[in-house]
Structure 1
Amino acid sequence: MSNEPGGATAAQPDPPETVDPSPAGATDTGRPTPAPGTLPLALLAAGWLAAMLWSTREAISSATAGVTAVSLSAFALPGVISAALVAGAAVGLAASEPVSRRGDRTTLRFAVAVGTGLLVGLLAALAIDLSYAGDTTTRTIAGTTAAAAVIGGALAGARNGAVVGAVAYAALVTLLFVVAFSVVRDPLFDLFGAGDSQQSLVNAASWVSRTESLLAGLIAGALAFGYLTWARRRAARSGTGAELRWPAYLVAGAGPGLLLLLTEVIIRVGGRSLIDLAAALSEADAVAQTSLGTSRVDNAIWVLFVGALTAMVTFGRTLASPPADDEVPEPDEAGADEASTGTAGR
């Protein structure tokens, strides 16, 4: 009776194997996953900030009148602020990552990241003061740029450096893409039916902006996923770093859009005087500044949601499929032999 099927000591089928829905090779050591490639990222971000400062100086210097210089400064401010924000985050991450590798030193890591962001901001502000005309416009650009770099450094002080690295890397490439996209704007205007009427120009501009935002979001999400996958595989080979779950991919994909929104907040707070001064030049300038501000916010929201969706969908395709609930596991051969022997002996 002891070996009868259904008895207390009857052979039981082996329990089904548990399928881990996380990507293969993930580790879980309790420590955050290190961010790879922080030094090249910091150099690229600092170089991009220097390029934006130089191009802004050239544009302002080429202006023939002070009124034109104010208008050009207002137009160039978003590019400088976004570059300073990414540079502060990238350089701060490169400086703070070695601190976290020696142990869980969250406070020291944050202090180093903020201090590095402050140093980047001060150097950028000094370069602006020395190379730009010394007036109210220059001081506004310098102060806002320094503040953006400090905020970027504070973001780099977050505990999960891999996510910060993914956001900074994707944001930097997104900014480069926006500049490169200007080459195809005119052909796209013609493609979307821009004509002689004002309404056709507005409609074409709207479609061009949506196309740019959609492509930027796809690029941001794909690059964020790629960076986190790289970080996870390096951590798996070295046996360091905690397993990266889906929230990390969600935040990394949405991060470039969030940085663009944060850029707009910094502009409207720190650069308000410059924007108001440019808008007061004429009615056309006022309309242009309002339109550009709305367009930047719309672009940031598109990049945020498309980037987050792209990163999540790409991450979801790497997960292993769980077993079906209605599958009943077959007993192993030993269990089957014992059950048949018990039945024959009865």
Structure 2
Amino acid sequence: MMTDESGPTATSAPDQPVEPEAPVTATPAPAPGALVLALLALGWLTAMLWSARAAISSAGLSSMEITLAAYSLPGLISASLVGGAAVSLVLGNLMTRLGIWRSTPRFLVSLVAGLATGFLAALVVTLSSGEGSAIMVLAGTAAAAATVGGIVGGLRSTLVVAAIVAAGLAVFAVGFALNYFKDPLLDLYGFGETQESRLTAVRWFARTVSVTSALATGLLVFGYLRTAGRRVVEQGTGAVPALRWPAYLIAGAGPGLLLLVTEILTRTAGAEVIRLAGAISEADQTVQSDFGGSRVNHLLLVLFGGALTAIIAFGRTLRPAEEATSSPSDPRDPDRDGAEGDGPEDGAREDAGTEAPDDADARSEVDGPAPATDGGTGTATASGTDTASGTEPGKEHQPADRPEPVAGR
């Protein structure tokens, strides 16, 4: 007897959901625009080195030199982090195009890239600013930051790393642009003659820089990941990037994490410079403490604000489910009424032609007494019944209940 069941060659049902991003391969995807990001990052690092050298060289006293070195330390560390990550990212793209995908050689190359970038930065600081203790600490901290950035740039999530590098450059650009218009903004926030008005204006200016940086990083991360993911898929390089919401969340928080690493390196590797700057006078110690607090507030706002902005931008691109988009005015499919199980009456209507045994007494009271049997042989004489079996035509035979004795028989 033939059946409708298929053998081992049966294909899957056509209505099975298909996930286009499910087959995520282990091949790292090359980050688009990595060379441009590296050039911009190295240019920014050069600008920070030149600014630190100019500020320290203009200081006539050793105490002023230490203070300016402490003031330049966080910016130089941040630029070294981004520069090392960008150079490592370029070398990672080159290894991907050469077909080198193993983790060990990629890690070694990223480590070498970070060390080379840090060595060059430290060499520039030492040759241009002198050989004082504060200068040596500044050079060593910049080298350590570039090495850490190189290791980060060697991670396999190249698109996320590239988005973080781009967002870090955006933070630098926003800070530079707003500091260029600092005086008009301070006047807008009520910078006056009193100390209280000046402190209030400076705090609002710092918050403006932080919030603007967070918005810029979140939107830039979203735009880069969307564009880069589509480009990688269109190029058909064999790597399918799994750009779901965790990628946007991590990339949006990436610049804040870079600032967090900067603060950690400032308070550990550069602790000697901060201590020397604070030991000059009580006022310098207060200034260094205020700078540290403002940096922490800035990194927290950039971290959480950037992550939130990227997630919101990504969430607005999500399409609703098919169940939510179905119109309530669509005609109801009668074939699905029983499957949906709207109520007990639906299941009763499906069993047409079957009668519950409890309903027999109720129908006998309405239709009248049951037809009399012929001589107790169990054959009914009413029309429409089978006299031999006592069942209606077209129905299977079921044993009937024992008839009650009829009075008078």
**Residue 140 of structure 1: aligned partner:** 137
**Residue 341 of structure 1: aligned partner:** none
**Residue 120 of structure 1: aligned partner:** 117
The superposition leaves residues 162-220 of structure 1 with CA deviations (integer Å, 9 ceiling, x where unpaired) of: 00000011101211221221122222222222222222222221111111100000001
Task: Describe the SS at the equivalent of 1:63.
Answer: coil
Shift of 1:26: 5.8
Deviation beyond 6 Å, 4+ runs, structure 1: 14-17, 328-332
**Residue 257 of structure 1: aligned partner:** 256
**Residue 71 of structure 1: aligned partner:** 67
Contact 1:34–1:161 (Cα < 8 Å) also in 2:
yes
Residue 326 to residue 221, structure 1, CA distance change in 2 (3 Å): closer
**Residue 220 of structure 2: aligned partner:** 223
The superposition leaves residues 224-243 of structure 1 with CA deviations (integer Å, 9 ceiling, x where unpaired) of: 11111121011120223233
Shift of 1:27: 7.8
Equivalent residue for 1:131, pick from 124, 128, 131: 128
Aligned: 1:233 with 2:230: yes
Q: Indicate the larger mover: 198-207 or 267-276.
A: 198-207
Aligned partners of 1:28, 1:227: CA distance in 2, in Å?
22
Aligned partners of 2:155, 2:332: CA distance in 1, in Å?
50
Aligned partners of 1:177, 1:66: CA distance in 2, in Å?
32
**Residue 83 of structure 1: aligned partner:** 79
Aligned: 1:290 with 2:289: yes
Task: Describe the SS at the equivalent of 1:35.
Answer: coil
Residue 330 to residue 88, structure 1, CA distance change in 2 (3 Å): farther
Shift of 1:17: 8.0
1:1-346 map, 5 Å: 18=17, 28-30=23-25, 31-101=27-97, 102-239=99-236, 240-324=239-323, 327=326
Consecutive unaligned residues of structure 2, counting only runs of 5 or more, are 1-12, 337-393, 395-409
Aligned partners of 1:33, 1:316: CA distance in 2, in Å?
24
Contact 1:27–1:242 (Cα < 8 Å) also in 2:
no
Aligned partners of 2:89, 2:302: CA distance in 1, in Å?
23
Residue 184 to residue 108, structure 1, CA distance change in 2 (3 Å): same
Contact 1:26–1:236 (Cα < 8 Å) also in 2:
no
The superposition leaves residues 256-295 of structure 1 with CA deviations (integer Å, 9 ceiling, x where unpaired) of: 0110111010111010000110111111111110000110
The sequence identity of aligned pairs, in percent, is: 46
Instruction: Output the amino acid matched with 1:321.
Output: P
Contact 2:178–2:209 (Cα < 8 Å) also in 1:
yes
The superposition leaves residues 6-38 of structure 1 with CA deviations (integer Å, 9 ceiling, x where unpaired) of: xxxxxxxx9978586xxxx86844134321111
Shift of 1:43: 1.3
Greater percentage in helix = 1
**Residue 339 of structure 2: aligned partner:** none
Contact 1:99–1:108 (Cα < 8 Å) also in 2:
no
Structure with more relative contact order (C-alpha pairs < 8 Å, separation 6 or more)? 1
The superposition leaves residues 143-171 of structure 1 with CA deviations (integer Å, 9 ceiling, x where unpaired) of: 00000000001111211110000001110
Aligned partners of 2:101, 2:320: CA distance in 1, in Å?
34
Q: Indicate the larger mover: 184-193 or 247-256.
A: 184-193
Contact 2:29–2:96 (Cα < 8 Å) also in 1:
no
Instruction: Output the amino acid matched with 1:207.
Output: W
Q: Larger Cα Rg: Structure 1 or Structure 2?
A: 2
Which TM-score applies when normalising by structure 1? 0.86
Aligned partners of 1:242, 1:60: CA distance in 2, in Å?
46
